[in-house]
């Protein structure tokens, strides 16, 4: 298995079911990763950077020779769509579990794939069918097609090397960034340009084909909820398609697969506009990240089907055998900060980690465990959380419960954002497009806005928890021997600061329930106060709730009355002047530094470029100023909050 993380674990599970022995490859930082422990054998293929390990073909070929592997499953990403890798395997007589090199080449090149799609009578997007040579030619072509245009890497995928341009200036900048990102992600900097369809849906069709000319479509997946061209929430089927459109899309996808003599599982991606016109976007000649939702509604194991096809068997099913049973939804749980442009990568160690597998209809595909490290070298995905129900409403309710019961501590994660998306009225009604996040949160995601009642409940729960924790710390073994037991307290006065507003609370206790008085209103909080658990089931005024406990929160401060009066005397920390210093918003590697001390920069001018988890981010000046000092150099690794450049 030439991959890591959750997809390597996913393939190993099916192999175990089929009685096939597996070999894991890993970089030296992944030596104790879950996929390495699950496999029958493991082989180290180099140091942490992907170019030296998971993309190191020589090392992987050596692992195949030494272990005598008969087939290779490439997962997704890394070498999964690399025709050179498939060719080298074929030369060594090793089966590549995927399509043959011809299909990978034809579909992996976005320019060639568009021409083949046109010839196979598949609807395509208007655009320029050749390779763009330089930025000036890009501007000329963009003018001919008409703005907005999408500049993208010909060999690309996963949102890497893609930029949208609305004018000539953005086209030049987009050309430069896309070609750099494309070169570092795929080793190929060719770009193409096409018309950008505003407000589309991103709907893809799963296809499955064998080496005997049979091909099926396994329904669609709705993948419109995205940030930076990467999917966040997916579902199958789509609320938008009717049976006629679904069949038309499925049949076009199959005719494209047959046109390139495709064998194995693949995905044909379409953009669908508001009038249900659909346009071919690209074909991914591999297993997709979001394949579990298709498995849920069809009952097929796609990895098993891929292995069977690679061995040369015919497909076991006919098109009419493929059902749509129920509804499945997948949330991609990432180690990233959703409050920073919908998710900038976060790194750290999972100090506590519990998947919500105790709930019915929940599937979690993950490749980590408690104690695992999320590093800057690889994708920040923690897991794929999938829920399945007989109706969409049931699947959504299960997703809500699953997200509430998911315990992740030690890294910042995007569960607050996922939780808000799936209860948003627009999402529930199915009124979505790829612009959903920027439209719903134009100012960026700020978290769940608390209603007055919710705020009271939160304050009451926090106060009761504070008192319960205090009481626990006063109890110790052998306490009974102390003769003069002081009378146990029944009443407390607390001061709680929430989002810069101060509330005085009175708390009284009887048994396991606490009555909290807030602004003249009483709230009763009761439950089994098991403070060792990360999730506390409580009842507030008789309504059951689930409380997720974290030690630190930014915007809630809880003090006794005395501590609060002393806190007023503490000097306030003066906020840093962020316009004159530039700090790294995330951990990563500095790719380029564009300024030196003494330079004058204009507002919005690029100062440096930071790459994290294979994405390049341009850091710009917040004001027009002179550069005082530069604290980073190209190639250096920086942490979140590290000082990069000072302006004066």
Summarize pLDDT for 390-434 with one digit per residue, the tens: 999 999 999 999 999 999 999 999 999 999 999 999 999 999 999
Tokens for 153? Answer: 């890497």
- What confidence category does residue 232 fall into, taking pLDDT thresholds of 50, 70 and 90? very high
- What confidence category does residue 96 fall into, taking pLDDT thresholds of 50, 70 and 90? very high
CB atoms within 10 A of CB 568: 8
**485 has pLDDT over 60:** no
Cβ–Cβ under 8 Å, residues 540 and 518: no
More confident residue, 648 or 206: 206
Mean pLDDT of all residues in 202-229: 95
Strands, DSSP E only, in 285-380?
327-334, 336-337, 344-345, 348-349, 352-354, 362-366, 373-374
| Sign of the CA dihedral with 549 first, then 443, 603, and 182 last | positive
Which candidate, 636, 640, 644, 571, places its Cα nearest to that of 607?
644
Mean pLDDT of all residues in 7-25: 97
Which candidate, 121, 124, 94, places its Cα nearest to that of 110?
124
- pLDDT, residue 191, reads 86
Highest mean pLDDT among 385-394, 445-454, 607-616: 385-394
**192 has pLDDT over 70:** yes
Mean pLDDT of all residues in 64-74: 97
- From the centroid of its chain, how far is CA 366? 12
Tokens for 368? Answer: 């980590």
Which candidate, 136, 99, 53, places its Cα nearest to that of 378?
53
Highest mean pLDDT among 38-47, 141-150, 178-187, 631-640: 38-47
- pLDDT, residue 557, reads 86
CA distance 586 to 168: 30
Residue 510, judged by CB atoms within 10 A of its CB (0-12, 13-18, 19+), counts as exposed
- pLDDT, residue 297, reads 97
CA distance 437 to 442: 8
Residue numbers annotated as active site: 286
- pLDDT, residue 644, reads 93
- pLDDT, residue 554, reads 61
CA distance 632 to 608: 9
299-349 confidence digits (pLDDT tens)? 999 999 999 999 999 999 999 999 999 999 999 999 999 998 888 888 889
The one-character DSSP state at 124 is B
φ and ψ of 146, to 5 deg: 100, 130
- C-alpha distance from residue 80 to each of 55, 253, 256, 430, 561 (Å): 10, 20, 20, 33, 61
- pLDDT, residue 201, reads 94
Mean pLDDT of all residues in 343-357: 91
Q: Which residue has the tokens 């627009």?
A: 426
Cβ–Cβ under 8 Å, residues 583 and 608: no
- What confidence category does residue 133 fall into, taking pLDDT thresholds of 50, 70 and 90? confident
**156 has pLDDT over 80:** no
The one-character DSSP state at 268 is E
CB atoms within 10 A of CB 118: 13
Helices (H), 2-100: 5-18, 34-38, 57-67, 83-91
Angle at 434 between CA 283 and CA 411, to 5 degrees: 95
CA distance 33 to 406: 21
Which domains can be identified in the chain, with CATH numbers?
Answer: 5-97 (3.40.50.20), 99-125+200-325 (3.30.470.20), 128-195 (3.30.1490.20), 326-448 (3.30.470.20), 452-470+490-568 (3.30.700.30), 581-647 (2.40.50.100)
- pLDDT, residue 486, reads 58
Tokens for 214? Answer: 């049979």
Which candidate, 301, 315, 298, 219, places its Cα nearest to that of 262?
315
φ and ψ of 282, to 5 deg: -165, 170
- What confidence category does residue 484 fall into, taking pLDDT thresholds of 50, 70 and 90? low
Cβ–Cβ under 8 Å, residues 157 and 282: yes
Contacts of 228 (CB under 8 A, 6+ apart): 159, 341, 342, 615
CA distance 83 to 61: 14
CA distance 520 to 597: 59
- C-alpha distance from residue 254 to each of 205, 218, 301 (Å): 9, 10, 19
Crossing angle between the packed helical segments 243-259 and 110-119, to the nearest 10 degrees: 110
Contacts of 3 (CB under 8 A, 6+ apart): 11, 25, 35, 54, 73, 74, 75, 76, 77, 78, 80
Compute the half-sphere exposure of residue 222: CA atoms within 13 Å on the CB side of its CA.
23
User: Cα(first)–Cα(last) distance of the chain, in Å?
Assistant: 53
Tokens for 305? Answer: 């089907």
pLDDT mean across residues, the chain: 91
Cβ–Cβ under 8 Å, residues 57 and 85: yes
Query: In this predicted structure, which of 35-39, 187-191, 380-384, 542-546 has the lowest mean pLDDT?
Result: 187-191
Q: Which residue has the tokens 């004058």?
A: 600
- C-alpha distance from residue 302 to each of 14, 280, 323, 500 (Å): 9, 23, 15, 52
Segment (H or E) for 100: none
- What confidence category does residue 290 fall into, taking pLDDT thresholds of 50, 70 and 90? very high
- C-alpha distance from residue 399 to each of 39, 50, 366, 374 (Å): 30, 33, 16, 24
- What confidence category does residue 576 fall into, taking pLDDT thresholds of 50, 70 and 90? confident
**645 has pLDDT over 90:** yes
Angle at 287 between CA 286 and CA 288, to 5 degrees: 110
Mean pLDDT of all residues in 229-243: 94
Cβ–Cβ under 8 Å, residues 524 and 461: no
- What confidence category does residue 483 fall into, taking pLDDT thresholds of 50, 70 and 90? low
Cβ–Cβ under 8 Å, residues 498 and 459: yes
516-553 confidence digits (pLDDT tens)? 999 889 999 999 999 889 999 999 999 999 988 876 66
CA distance 15 to 44: 21
Mean pLDDT of all residues in 561-571: 90
């Amino acid at each position: 298995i030439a991959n890591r993380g959750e997809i390597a674990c996913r393939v190993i599970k099916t192999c175990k079911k089929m009685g096939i022995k597996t070999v894991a490859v890993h970089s030296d930082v992944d030596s104790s990763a879950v996929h390495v422990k699950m496999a029958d054998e493991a082989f180290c293929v180099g140091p942490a950077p992907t170019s030296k390990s998971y993309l190191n073909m020589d090392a992987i070929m050596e692992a195949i020779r030494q272990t005598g592997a008969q087939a290779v499953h490439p997962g997704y990403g890394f070498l999964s769509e690399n025709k050179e890798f498939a060719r080298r395997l074929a030369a060594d007589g090793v089966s590549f579990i995927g399509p043959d090199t011809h299909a990978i080449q034809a579909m992996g090149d976005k320019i060639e794939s568009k021409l083949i799609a046109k010839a196979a009578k598949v609807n395509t997007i208007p655009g320029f069918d050749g390779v763009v040579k330089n930025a000036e030619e890009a501007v000329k072509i963009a003018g001919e097609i008409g703005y907005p245009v999408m500049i993208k890497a010909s060999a690309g995928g996963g949102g890497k090397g893609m930029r949208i341009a609305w004018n000539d200036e953005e086209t030049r900048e987009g050309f430069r960034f896309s070609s750099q990102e494309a070169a570092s992600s795929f080793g190929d900097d060719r770009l193409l340009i096409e018309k950008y369809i505003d407000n589309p849906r991103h709907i893809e069709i799963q296809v499955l084909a064998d080496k005997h000319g049979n091909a099926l479509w396994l329904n669609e997946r709705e993948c419109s909820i995205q940030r930076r061209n990467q999917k966040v929430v997916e579902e199958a089927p789509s609320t938008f398609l009717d049976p006629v459109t679904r069949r038309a899309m499925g049949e076009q996808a199959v005719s494209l697969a047959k046109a390139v003599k495709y064998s194995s599982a693949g995905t044909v991606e379409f953009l669908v506009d508001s009038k249900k016109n659909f346009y071919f976007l690209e074909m991914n000649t591999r297993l997709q990240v979001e394949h579990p939702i298709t498995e849920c509604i069809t009952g097929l194991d796609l990895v098993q089907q891929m292995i069977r096809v690679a061995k040369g068997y015919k497909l076991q099913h006919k098109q009419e055998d493929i059902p749509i049973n129920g509804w499945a939804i997948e949330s991609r749980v990432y180690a990233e900060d959703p409050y920073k442009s919908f998710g900038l990568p976060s790194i750290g160690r999972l100090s506590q980690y519990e998947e919500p597998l105790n709930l019915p209809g929940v599937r979690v595909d993950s490749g980590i465990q408690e104690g695992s490290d999320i590093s800057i070298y690889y994708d920040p995905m923690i897991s794929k959380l999938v829920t399945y129900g007989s109706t969409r409403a049931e699947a959504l309710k299960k997703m809500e419960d699953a997200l509430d019961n998911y315990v992740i501590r030690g890294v910042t994660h995007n569960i607050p954002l996922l939780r808000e998306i799936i209860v948003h009225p627009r999402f529930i009604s199915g009124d979505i497009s790829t612009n959903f996040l920027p439209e719903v949160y134009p100012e960026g995601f700020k978290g769940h806005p608390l209603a007055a009642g919710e705020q009271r409940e939160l304050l009451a729960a926090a106060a009761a928890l504070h008192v319960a924790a205090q009481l626990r710390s006063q109890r110790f073994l052998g306490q009974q021997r102390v003769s003069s037991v002081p009378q146990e307290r029944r009443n407390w006065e607390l001061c709680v600061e929430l989002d810069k507003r101060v509330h005085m609370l009175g708390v009284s206790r009887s048994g396991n329930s606490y009555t909290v008085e807030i602004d003249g209103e009483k709230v009763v909080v009761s439950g089994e106060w098991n403070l060792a658990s990360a999730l506390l089931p409580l009842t507030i005024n008789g309504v059951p709730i689930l409380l997720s406990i974290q030690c630190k929160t930014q915007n809630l401060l809880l003090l006794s009355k005395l501590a609060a009066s002393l806190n007023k005397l503490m000097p306030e920390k003066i906020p840093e002047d962020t316009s004159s210093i530039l700090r790294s918003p995330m951990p990563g590697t500095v790719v380029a530094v564009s300024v030196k001390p003494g330079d004058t920069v204009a507002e919005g001018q690029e100062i440096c470029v930071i790459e994290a988890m294979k994405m390049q981010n341009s850091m710009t000046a917040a004001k027009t100023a002179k550069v005082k000092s530069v604290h980073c150099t190209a190639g250096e690794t920086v942490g979140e909050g590290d000082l990069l450049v000072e302006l004066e």
